[in-house]
Amino acid sequence: MTEAHEPKQPALKLKFISHGTLEVRDVDRSREFYEEFFGFETVRTSKVSLWIRLGGDHVYVAVKAPPGEKAVMPFLYHNGIDVESDAEVDDAYAIVLRDAEKWGLHDITKPIVQHGSYSFYFRDMDENFWEILSNPKGGYGWMFELGDQEGMGHLKRSFERPKLD
């Protein structure tokens, strides 16, 4: 680890990251997927948008892309969803494989230990990338407790995983 990072006084006085955005092709079909597959809470906010959330107040705004303009989400821009154990990652992986055809899931990777967690990735019917991972309570809060890392940091294969609760 490097020496402690001293935060600077911010220019803006902000309180909360409230939302992010996902592109979808069909708002109604995506709503079905988010509710029936992931178990997300949803609310239709307009004829072209939907808000989704799970386990907190941060939301994603799912917005219908103009016809023919839906971008493929790059792998590095994936969305992470935590489960409580490695066994639950394996269970989720089996369900993703089982339901892949129904929901148009593809580019499904096998679960492995990486960046301090056990996880796998897949794309949905809208080309959005998802990661299902085991993380302790509080998600990636443990990395802030560890502080800045040197070199490959949490990407090293030998990186010590946090203890799950």
- pLDDT tens-digit profile of 74-113? 888 899 999 999 999 999 999 999 999 999 999 999 999 8
Contacts made by residues 94-103, CB under 8 angstroms, sequence distance 24+ = 96/120, 96/122, 96/132, 99/37, 103/33, 103/37
Quote the DSSP letter at residue 42.
E
What is the pTM for the complete model shown? 0.86
Q: How far from each other are the two terminal CA atoms of the chain, in whole angstroms?
A: 24
pLDDT tens digit sequence for 7-60: 788 888 888 889 999 999 999 999 999 999 999 999 999 999 999 999 999 999
List of domains in the chain: 17-68 (3.10.180.10), 72-156 (3.10.180.10)
Are the C-beta atoms of 117 and 161 separated by less than 8 Å? yes
State CA 15 to chain mean position distance: 21
What's the pLDDT score for residue 47? 96
